Amino acid sequence: DVKVTQSSRYLVKRTGEKVFLECVQDMDHENMFWYRQDPGLGLRLIYFSYDVKMKEKGDIPEGYSVSREKKERFSLILESASTNQTSMYLCASNRAYSNQPQHFGDGTRLSIL
Amino acid sequence: AQKITQTQPGMFVQEKEAVTLDCTYDTSDQSYGLFWYKQPSSGEMIFLIYQGSYDEQNATEGRYSLNFQKARKSANLVISASQLGDSAMYFCAMRDLNAGGTSYGKLTFGQGTILTVHP
Protein backbone atom coordinates (compact mmCIF):
# COMPACT_ATOMS: atom_id res chain seq x y z
CA ASP A 1 0.00 0.00 0.00
CA VAL A 2 1.11 3.53 -0.76
CA LYS A 3 1.98 5.48 2.34
CA VAL A 4 2.09 9.25 2.41
CA THR A 5 3.14 10.54 5.81
CA GLN A 6 2.79 14.09 7.04
CA SER A 7 4.94 15.01 10.00
CA SER A 8 2.21 16.48 12.21
CA ARG A 9 -1.57 16.06 12.52
CA TYR A 10 -1.96 19.28 14.52
CA LEU A 11 0.34 22.28 14.70
CA VAL A 12 0.03 25.64 16.45
CA LYS A 13 2.40 28.48 15.54
CA ARG A 14 2.61 32.22 16.02
CA THR A 15 2.31 35.02 13.50
CA GLY A 16 5.63 35.75 11.85
CA GLU A 17 7.18 32.35 12.54
CA LYS A 18 8.76 30.28 9.78
CA VAL A 19 6.80 27.04 9.56
CA PHE A 20 7.84 23.78 7.93
CA LEU A 21 5.37 21.07 6.95
CA GLU A 22 7.00 17.82 5.92
CA CYS A 23 5.67 15.07 3.69
CA VAL A 24 7.25 11.72 2.86
CA GLN A 25 6.02 9.04 0.44
CA ASP A 26 7.32 5.51 0.17
CA MET A 27 6.27 4.49 -3.36
CA ASP A 28 8.92 6.21 -5.47
CA HIS A 29 6.33 8.55 -6.99
CA GLU A 30 7.61 11.28 -9.28
CA ASN A 31 4.83 13.79 -8.55
CA MET A 32 4.11 15.37 -5.20
CA PHE A 33 1.57 18.04 -4.30
CA TRP A 34 0.60 20.41 -1.49
CA TYR A 35 -3.02 21.51 -1.10
CA ARG A 36 -4.84 23.59 1.44
CA GLN A 37 -8.43 22.86 2.33
CA ASP A 38 -10.86 25.50 3.56
CA PRO A 39 -14.63 25.16 4.17
CA GLY A 40 -16.67 25.88 1.05
CA LEU A 41 -13.58 26.11 -1.15
CA GLY A 42 -12.58 22.48 -1.50
CA LEU A 43 -8.89 21.72 -1.99
CA ARG A 44 -6.70 24.29 -3.69
CA LEU A 45 -3.26 23.51 -5.08
CA ILE A 46 -0.40 25.49 -3.55
CA TYR A 47 2.66 23.95 -5.22
CA PHE A 48 3.62 20.72 -6.90
CA SER A 49 6.82 18.99 -7.91
CA TYR A 50 7.39 16.52 -10.74
CA ASP A 51 11.02 15.70 -9.97
CA VAL A 52 13.75 16.33 -7.45
CA LYS A 53 14.56 20.04 -7.21
CA MET A 54 11.74 20.84 -9.67
CA LYS A 55 8.69 22.79 -8.58
CA GLU A 56 5.74 24.54 -10.13
CA LYS A 57 3.33 27.05 -8.68
CA GLY A 58 -0.24 25.98 -8.20
CA ASP A 59 -3.28 28.21 -7.88
CA ILE A 60 -2.44 29.89 -4.55
CA PRO A 61 1.37 30.00 -4.07
CA GLU A 62 1.57 33.41 -2.40
CA GLY A 63 3.12 33.26 1.05
CA TYR A 64 4.46 29.73 0.54
CA SER A 65 7.57 28.06 -0.80
CA VAL A 66 8.54 24.42 -1.23
CA SER A 67 11.61 22.23 -1.23
CA ARG A 68 12.24 18.84 -2.80
CA GLU A 69 15.82 17.73 -2.21
CA LYS A 70 15.01 14.01 -2.27
CA LYS A 71 12.44 12.15 -4.33
CA GLU A 72 10.50 10.89 -1.34
CA ARG A 73 10.28 14.17 0.58
CA PHE A 74 8.37 17.35 -0.24
CA SER A 75 8.36 20.23 2.23
CA LEU A 76 6.00 23.18 2.41
CA ILE A 77 7.39 26.34 3.98
CA LEU A 78 5.47 29.30 5.33
CA GLU A 79 8.14 31.99 5.28
CA SER A 80 6.35 34.30 7.73
CA ALA A 81 3.14 32.74 8.99
CA SER A 82 -0.01 34.83 9.04
CA THR A 83 -3.42 34.16 10.55
CA ASN A 84 -5.00 33.72 7.10
CA GLN A 85 -2.81 30.67 6.63
CA THR A 86 -4.71 28.83 9.35
CA SER A 87 -6.04 25.85 7.44
CA MET A 88 -5.88 22.12 6.78
CA TYR A 89 -2.87 21.19 4.64
CA LEU A 90 -2.83 18.00 2.59
CA CYS A 91 0.11 16.40 0.83
CA ALA A 92 -0.36 13.95 -2.05
CA SER A 93 1.71 11.96 -4.53
CA ASN A 94 1.24 9.92 -7.65
CA ARG A 95 3.15 8.28 -10.45
CA ALA A 96 3.87 10.31 -13.56
CA TYR A 97 2.33 9.43 -16.92
CA SER A 98 -0.44 7.35 -15.46
CA ASN A 99 -4.12 7.50 -14.63
CA GLN A 100 -3.45 6.45 -11.09
CA PRO A 101 -5.16 8.52 -8.41
CA GLN A 102 -3.28 10.79 -6.08
CA HIS A 103 -2.58 9.26 -2.68
CA PHE A 104 -3.00 11.61 0.25
CA GLY A 105 -1.51 11.96 3.69
CA ASP A 106 -3.71 12.37 6.75
CA GLY A 107 -3.43 16.15 6.70
CA THR A 108 -2.03 18.77 9.07
CA ARG A 109 -4.40 21.14 10.84
CA LEU A 110 -2.33 24.28 11.21
CA SER A 111 -3.39 27.15 13.47
CA ILE A 112 -1.57 30.47 13.34
CA LEU A 113 -2.18 32.60 16.44
CA ALA B 1 -9.17 26.53 -17.14
CA GLN B 2 -10.83 23.55 -15.60
CA LYS B 3 -13.69 23.93 -13.15
CA ILE B 4 -15.58 21.44 -11.00
CA THR B 5 -18.95 22.30 -9.45
CA GLN B 6 -20.67 20.39 -6.68
CA THR B 7 -23.97 22.15 -6.08
CA GLN B 8 -25.08 20.18 -3.00
CA PRO B 9 -23.37 21.48 0.15
CA GLY B 10 -25.13 18.77 2.19
CA MET B 11 -27.15 15.64 1.53
CA PHE B 12 -29.10 13.34 3.82
CA VAL B 13 -29.99 9.72 3.17
CA GLN B 14 -31.59 6.90 5.10
CA GLU B 15 -29.46 3.86 5.82
CA LYS B 16 -29.74 1.18 3.10
CA GLU B 17 -31.07 3.64 0.52
CA ALA B 18 -29.20 4.86 -2.57
CA VAL B 19 -27.95 8.43 -2.92
CA THR B 20 -26.60 10.46 -5.84
CA LEU B 21 -23.99 13.18 -5.36
CA ASP B 22 -23.83 15.65 -8.21
CA CYS B 23 -20.73 16.83 -10.03
CA THR B 24 -20.49 18.93 -13.18
CA TYR B 25 -17.28 19.97 -14.85
CA ASP B 26 -16.06 22.42 -17.41
CA THR B 27 -13.07 21.79 -19.63
CA SER B 28 -12.01 22.33 -23.20
CA ASP B 29 -9.76 19.27 -23.10
CA GLN B 30 -10.67 16.09 -24.94
CA SER B 31 -8.70 13.78 -22.68
CA TYR B 32 -9.34 14.00 -18.96
CA GLY B 33 -10.01 11.90 -15.91
CA LEU B 34 -12.63 12.25 -13.19
CA PHE B 35 -12.12 11.11 -9.61
CA TRP B 36 -14.21 10.87 -6.49
CA TYR B 37 -12.68 10.99 -3.02
CA LYS B 38 -14.21 10.47 0.42
CA GLN B 39 -13.00 12.42 3.44
CA PRO B 40 -14.24 11.18 6.84
CA SER B 41 -14.16 13.48 9.85
CA SER B 42 -10.69 12.15 10.67
CA GLY B 43 -9.39 14.04 7.63
CA GLU B 44 -7.75 11.50 5.34
CA MET B 45 -8.69 11.49 1.66
CA ILE B 46 -9.80 8.09 0.38
CA PHE B 47 -9.91 7.43 -3.36
CA LEU B 48 -13.22 5.85 -4.42
CA ILE B 49 -13.60 5.67 -8.19
CA TYR B 50 -12.14 6.87 -11.51
CA GLN B 51 -13.65 7.54 -14.95
CA GLY B 52 -11.62 8.36 -18.04
CA SER B 53 -13.13 10.63 -20.65
CA TYR B 54 -12.78 7.93 -23.32
CA ASP B 55 -14.19 5.11 -21.21
CA GLU B 56 -17.37 3.89 -22.83
CA GLN B 57 -18.77 2.20 -19.76
CA ASN B 58 -19.62 3.86 -16.46
CA ALA B 59 -17.10 3.00 -13.76
CA THR B 60 -18.18 0.84 -10.82
CA GLU B 61 -16.38 -0.11 -7.60
CA GLY B 62 -18.43 -2.15 -5.21
CA ARG B 63 -21.28 0.03 -3.92
CA TYR B 64 -19.95 3.05 -5.82
CA SER B 65 -20.80 3.80 -9.43
CA LEU B 66 -20.22 6.83 -11.57
CA ASN B 67 -23.02 8.12 -13.78
CA PHE B 68 -20.91 9.68 -16.54
CA GLN B 69 -22.76 11.84 -19.06
CA LYS B 70 -20.10 13.34 -21.29
CA ALA B 71 -22.39 15.56 -23.39
CA ARG B 72 -23.82 17.12 -20.23
CA LYS B 73 -20.36 17.26 -18.59
CA SER B 74 -21.58 15.54 -15.48
CA ALA B 75 -20.02 12.77 -13.39
CA ASN B 76 -22.38 11.98 -10.55
CA LEU B 77 -21.44 9.50 -7.83
CA VAL B 78 -24.07 6.94 -6.90
CA ILE B 79 -23.75 5.13 -3.58
CA SER B 80 -26.04 2.14 -3.28
CA ALA B 81 -27.25 0.65 0.02
CA SER B 82 -25.89 3.49 2.17
CA GLN B 83 -24.18 2.62 5.42
CA LEU B 84 -23.60 4.74 8.52
CA GLY B 85 -19.89 4.68 7.72
CA ASP B 86 -20.58 6.49 4.44
CA SER B 87 -21.18 9.72 6.38
CA ALA B 88 -18.34 11.95 5.21
CA MET B 89 -17.37 14.78 2.88
CA TYR B 90 -17.19 13.74 -0.79
CA PHE B 91 -15.07 15.51 -3.39
CA CYS B 92 -15.24 15.33 -7.16
CA ALA B 93 -11.99 16.13 -8.97
CA MET B 94 -10.72 16.31 -12.54
CA ARG B 95 -7.32 15.85 -14.10
CA ASP B 96 -6.15 17.00 -17.48
CA LEU B 97 -4.42 14.02 -19.07
CA ASN B 98 -2.61 16.04 -21.69
CA ALA B 99 -1.02 18.86 -19.74
CA GLY B 100 1.69 20.11 -22.06
CA GLY B 101 2.30 16.62 -23.43
CA THR B 102 3.00 15.21 -19.99
CA SER B 103 0.72 14.45 -17.12
CA TYR B 104 1.73 15.94 -13.83
CA GLY B 105 -1.45 14.58 -12.35
CA LYS B 106 -2.69 17.93 -11.08
CA LEU B 107 -6.25 17.74 -9.80
CA THR B 108 -8.94 20.41 -9.76
CA PHE B 109 -11.41 19.83 -6.92
CA GLY B 110 -15.02 20.79 -6.34
CA GLN B 111 -16.24 22.37 -3.12
CA GLY B 112 -17.39 19.07 -1.67
CA THR B 113 -20.68 17.60 -0.45
CA ILE B 114 -21.25 16.52 3.14
CA LEU B 115 -23.24 13.30 3.22
CA THR B 116 -25.08 12.28 6.39
CA VAL B 117 -26.52 8.79 6.63
CA HIS B 118 -29.38 8.41 9.13
CA PRO B 119 -30.12 5.09 10.83
- Distance from the Cα of B33 to chain A's closest Cα (Å) equals 7
- Distance from the Cα of B43 to chain A's closest Cα (Å) equals 6
**Residue of higher predicted confidence among B35 and B97:** B35
Half-sphere exposure (CA, 13 Å, Cβ side) for A72? 9
Residue B105's pLDDT is 73
Residue A34: name the closest of A4, A76, A71 by CA. Answer: A76
* Measured torsion, CA atoms of residues B78, B84, B87, B93, in degrees rounded to the nearest 10: -30
Residue A2's pLDDT is 67
Euclidean distance between CA atoms A50 and B48, whole angstroms: 24
The mean of the pLDDT values for chain B is 92
Q: Give the rounded percent of residues in chain A with a pLDDT score beyond 70.
A: 98
- Distance from the Cα of B4 to chain A's closest Cα (Å) equals 10
Amino acid at residue number A76: L
Residues in chain B: 119
Segments in chain A below pLDDT 70: 1-2
Nearest CA in chain A to B1: A59
Residue A28's pLDDT is 92
Per residue in B15-64, pLDDT (tens digit) is 999 999 999 999 888 888 999 999 999 999 999 999 999 988 999 999 99
Instruction: Tell whether B101 is within 8 A of chain A (Cβ).
Output: no
Residue A103: name the closest of A63, A72, A69, A66 by CA. Answer: A72
Nearest CA in chain A to B45: A104
Pick from B37, B42, B50: which is nearest to A99 by CB?
A: B50
Nearest CA in chain B to A42: B111
Euclidean distance between CA atoms A90 and A43, whole angstroms: 8
**Weakest mean pLDDT among B60-64, B68-72, B95-99, B106-110:** B95-99
Checking if the pLDDT of B104 tops 80, the result is no
Residue B101's pLDDT is 46
Residue B96's pLDDT is 75
Residues of A in contact with B112 (CB under 8 A): 42
Residues of B in contact with A58 (CB under 8 A): 106
Nearest CA in chain B to A54: B104
Q: Where are the beta strands (DSSP E) in chain A?
A: 4-6, 10-13, 19-25, 31-38, 42-51, 54-57, 64-70, 73-78, 87-94, 103-104, 108-112
Euclidean distance between CA atoms B20 and A98, whole angstroms: 28
Interface of A with B in 38-67 (CB under 8 A): 40-45, 48, 50, 56, 58
